[in-house]
Amino acid sequence: MAVHWTREERYRRLDSVDPEEYDELTKAVANAPWRQKYHVQPLAGLLNDPNGFSWYNGQYHLFYQWFPLGPAHGLKYWYHTVSDNLVTFENKGIALSPDTPYDSHGVYSGSALQAGEDLMLFYTGNTRDEKWLRTPYQCMAKLDRQGVFTKWPRPVITGVPDGFTQELRDPKLWKEDGMYYCVIGAQQTDQTGAALLYKSEDLHDWHFIGEVRTELGAFGYMWECPDLFSLQGTDFLVFSPLGLKPEGLSRNNLFHAGYISGEFDLETGIFHHGPFTELDNGFDFYAPQTMEAPDGTRILIAWMAVPQLPYPTDKDGWANCMTLPRVLTVEEGRLKQRLPASWNKPAEQAATMELTAAGQPELLPFGGDCYELQTDVQDVTADEVHIDLRVRGLEYTRITYDRNAQQLIFDRSRSGEPVNASEGHARITVLSRPLQQLRILVDVSSVEIFINDGDAVMTSRIFPGEDSTGIRVQAEGGTAKLSFRHWTLDGIAFKNERIL
């Protein structure tokens, strides 16, 4: 159920709220149902895009868009978390507040890049006038080794180039051949999406180069959160275009996030590429951002939600979480997405089971609401194999392998409290080869499924009862040999300390 927030309520600053009252809110949220155990989530209020994902001073830094007061897209802050290993994250507090004339209506999304001793942060300062017309500024701040954040007094990019609207935001920076570059999400005056390129020698003085010249034609009405990088000789533009329509089995969410890959020429802005491909085939995935780890690996993290949709936690005063981080690689021309190696756990610590699934549903001897389940699938003669998670009575979340269609189907129609019923009940991944392996990460209100060693990923929120903890398997029209390894993940809790 949508909770309505007036504009006045949405643009109220956190420091205008009585600290005790806010403490009450965070305490109530901490005890609310469906709080995650190991995913990054807000103390209260609404979390959206990952920002400033980076490595600095011996740690991973992950910031996120945050409206502290409730489950609404209001006045945004950057909230700061850190991690040593991409498994356990910990709260550090507010990094950037909307407290200057250049970000009075929100410290919007952006990125981070180390320069010298400091971590430089780039974000869009969102402003509105009395008529509620938007003017964006691209702003800079830094985090130093003492942990102090300092904003530059003036934006580094003001105004928008000719031919573009005020919808210009989400700068993503990188350094190449001694030069700094950034790509910014944009909209052309004909209401089509674009990504703009800027360049700078010193991070202060920026020059507009032009737009990324793709072969997509008119493709949505605005591009958010672009990210441009090269991976093993292939160039990628990751972005979140607004306004795409469903296309067969894909693009069935309200908003989408994906990539084009191929060859990009920074001199001319020309990108030769293949089709736009979604990065995730589940229900809840948007605004991904990548970073380069110290060992050169490319790691992606995203917001586990879709913009503008209500979620069942809204009534408890909070909304949304991050996905788990994923390592990207290119193998035989295909993008692979896997959990970082720090997620690997000793096989001896797993509870294991092998069985031949047949007509009768069978409950596995383990389960829970916070675990990893790995499954190997062999000798499938069945038409369909079901793996049901979070089972209790008539409630369950169903993963189905349809052997004939070579599809994996994620169905949350019986998962508990319905989510965005207008979005349909199932999402489908068309597999590039028969199903062999699943790596499933269950948290209190989410499921992430890594299919066939990272060929595809399906990420979704679910809102089951707390006693819905069973795992059940069944084959229809034949049999399938399945082996399971199960690890309880209660031990890796996200350190959700109440730090502002």
Residues that are catalytic: 49
Cβ proximity to ligand FRU: between 74 and 464 the closer is 74
User: Does residue 127 interact with ligand FRU by CB under 6 A?
Assistant: no
430 has which bridge partners?
407
34 neighbors 446 (Cβ within 8 angstroms): no
Q: Which one of residues 103, 118, 211, 224 is an interface residue with ligand FRU (CB under 6 A)?
A: 224
Q: What is the number of other CB atoms lying within 10 angstroms of the CB of residue 362?
A: 16
Cβ proximity to ligand FRU: between 33 and 307 the closer is 307
Of residues 123, 53, 110, 42, the one with CA closest to residue 300: 53
Q: Which one of residues 169, 172, 298, 485 is an interface residue with ligand FRU (CB under 6 A)?
A: 169
User: Does residue 227 interact with ligand FRU by CB under 6 A?
Assistant: no
Of residues 89, 56, 114, the one with CA closest to residue 342: 89
Query: Which residues inside 374-403 make contact with ligand FRU, applying CB under 6 A?
Result: none
Q: Which one of residues 22, 35, 49, 460 is an interface residue with ligand FRU (CB under 6 A)?
A: 49
Whole-angstrom Cα distance, residue 369 to residue 433? 30
**Closest distance of CB 71 from ligand FRU, Å:** 14
Cβ proximity to ligand FRU: between 43 and 309 the closer is 309
User: Does residue 170 interact with ligand FRU by CB under 6 A?
Assistant: yes
**Closest distance of CB 176 from ligand FRU, Å:** 24
Structure tokens at 109: 């999304």
**Closest distance of CB 123 from ligand FRU, Å:** 8
Q: Which one of residues 22, 34, 108, 181 is an interface residue with ligand FRU (CB under 6 A)?
A: 108
Q: Which one of residues 307, 361, 424, 465 is an interface residue with ligand FRU (CB under 6 A)?
A: 307
**Closest distance of CB 408 from ligand FRU, Å:** 27
Quote the strand ranges of 189-269, DSSP E: 193-200, 206-211, 222-231, 234-242, 258-264
Q: Which one of residues 124, 281, 290, 400 is an interface residue with ligand FRU (CB under 6 A)?
A: 124
Whole-angstrom Cα distance, residue 291 to residue 325? 10
Counting every residue, how long is the chain? 500
Helix (H) / strand (E) containing 22: helix 19-30
User: Does residue 111 interact with ligand FRU by CB under 6 A?
Assistant: no
Query: Which residues inside 254-293 make contact with ligand FRU, applying CB under 6 A?
Result: 287
Contacts of 259 (CB under 8 A, 6+ apart): 236, 237, 238, 239, 276, 277, 279, 335
Q: Which one of residues 76, 273, 336, 403 is an interface residue with ligand FRU (CB under 6 A)?
A: 76
User: Does residue 460 interact with ligand FRU by CB under 6 A?
Assistant: no
Q: In what order do the strands lie in the sheet with 362-363?
A: 362-363, 470-476, 384-392, 395-402, 407-411, 426-430
**Closest distance of CB 110 from ligand FRU, Å:** 8
Q: What is the number of other CB atoms lying within 10 angstroms of the CB of residue 273?
A: 20
Whole-angstrom Cα distance, residue 187 to residue 385? 45
User: Does residue 461 interact with ligand FRU by CB under 6 A?
Assistant: no
**Closest distance of CB 126 from ligand FRU, Å:** 7
Cβ proximity to ligand FRU: between 47 and 438 the closer is 47
User: Does residue 112 interact with ligand FRU by CB under 6 A?
Assistant: no
Whole-angstrom Cα distance, residue 415 to residue 437? 23
Cβ proximity to ligand FRU: between 65 and 474 the closer is 65
User: Does residue 323 interact with ligand FRU by CB under 6 A?
Assistant: no
Task: Tell me, by CB under 6 A, how many residues bind ligand FRU.
Answer: 14
User: Does residue 33 interact with ligand FRU by CB under 6 A?
Assistant: no
User: Could you tell me how far CA 294 lies from the centroid of its own chain?
Assistant: 21
Contacts of 193 (CB under 8 A, 6+ apart): 185, 186, 187, 219, 220, 221, 222, 223, 239, 241, 242, 243
**Closest distance of CB 413 from ligand FRU, Å:** 27
Tokens 């499924």 appear where?
449
SS3 helix, strand, coil % of the chain, rounded to 5? Answer: 5, 50, 45
Helix (H) / strand (E) containing 300: strand 298-303
Tokens 């958010």 appear where?
224
Whole-angstrom Cα distance, residue 354 to residue 357? 9
**Closest distance of CB 170 from ligand FRU, Å:** 5
Query: Which residues inside 180-219 make contact with ligand FRU, applying CB under 6 A?
Result: 185
Cβ proximity to ligand FRU: between 73 and 481 the closer is 73
Structure tokens at 57: 């001073």
377 has which bridge partners?
482
User: Does residue 65 interact with ligand FRU by CB under 6 A?
Assistant: yes
Cβ proximity to ligand FRU: between 79 and 89 the closer is 79
**Closest distance of CB 169 from ligand FRU, Å:** 5
Cβ proximity to ligand FRU: between 49 and 411 the closer is 49
Backbone φ, ψ for residue 308 (5° rounding): 75, 0
Cβ proximity to ligand FRU: between 170 and 455 the closer is 170
Q: Which one of residues 26, 109, 452, 460 is an interface residue with ligand FRU (CB under 6 A)?
A: 109
Residues that bind ligand FRU (CB under 6 A): 48-49, 65, 76, 108-109, 124, 169-170, 185, 224-225, 287, 307
